[in-house]
């Protein structure tokens, strides 16, 4: 639990993060379905984030309740994504509305 008991191979974590980053950049050029690319990218990003939190931020060595504090924002944000999606999915919009024909009003 204490600092002296932590024997983390930080360079091992570094190589993992580097490899996952290279993999992420490579994935976007794969000739596969976009949905599959998106799933792969999100998975790789979450894996990298988990590595940073667990080993660099030492969450792996903290009390489990602190991990719950750390994971709560992620869960709330996933909820937020699903809460926001219906707002826009029903009404696809263009950034610049096509110019409307001038109306003649008297």
Partner 1 sequence: MSQVAAMTTVVEPAESPLTPESWGKLGMWTFLAGDAMSFGALLAGYGALRYGSVDWPVPADVLGIGLTAFMTFLLICSSVTMVLALAAIQRGDSRGLRRFLALTVLGGLMFLGMQAYEWTHLIHRGLTLTGNPFGAALFGTTFFIITGFHGAHVTGGVIYLSCYLVKDLMGRLSQTDANAIEIAALYWHFVDLVWILVFTFVYLL
Residues in contact with partner 1 by the rule CB under 8 A: 2-4, 8, 10-11, 13-14, 17-18, 21, 24-25, 27-28, 38, 41-42, 44-45, 48-49, 52-53, 56-57, 62-63, 65-66, 69-70, 72-74, 76-77, 80-81, 84-85, 87-89, 91-96
Q: What is the dihedral of CA 95, 74, 80, 33, to 10 degrees?
A: 50
Shorter beta-carbon distance to partner 1: residue 97 or 101: 97
Least separation in angstroms between CB 71 and partner 1? 9
Q: How far apart are CA 89 and CA 25, in angstroms?
A: 28
Helices 34-51 and 10-27 sit at what angle, rounded to 10 degrees? 170
């Amino acid at each position: 639990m204490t600092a002296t008991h932590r024997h983390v191979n930080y360079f091992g974590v570094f190589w993992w993060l580097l490899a996952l980053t290279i993999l992420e950049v490579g994935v976007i050029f794969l000739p596969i379905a976009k949905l599959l690319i998106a799933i792969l990218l999100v998975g790789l990003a979450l894996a990298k984030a988990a590595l940073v939190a667990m080993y660099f931020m030492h969450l792996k060595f903290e009390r489990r309740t602190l991990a719950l504090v750390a994971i709560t924002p992620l869960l709330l944000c996933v909820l937020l994504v699903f809460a926001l999606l219906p707002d826009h999915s029903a009404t696809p919009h263009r950034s610049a509305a096509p110019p409307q024909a001038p109306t003649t009003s008297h």
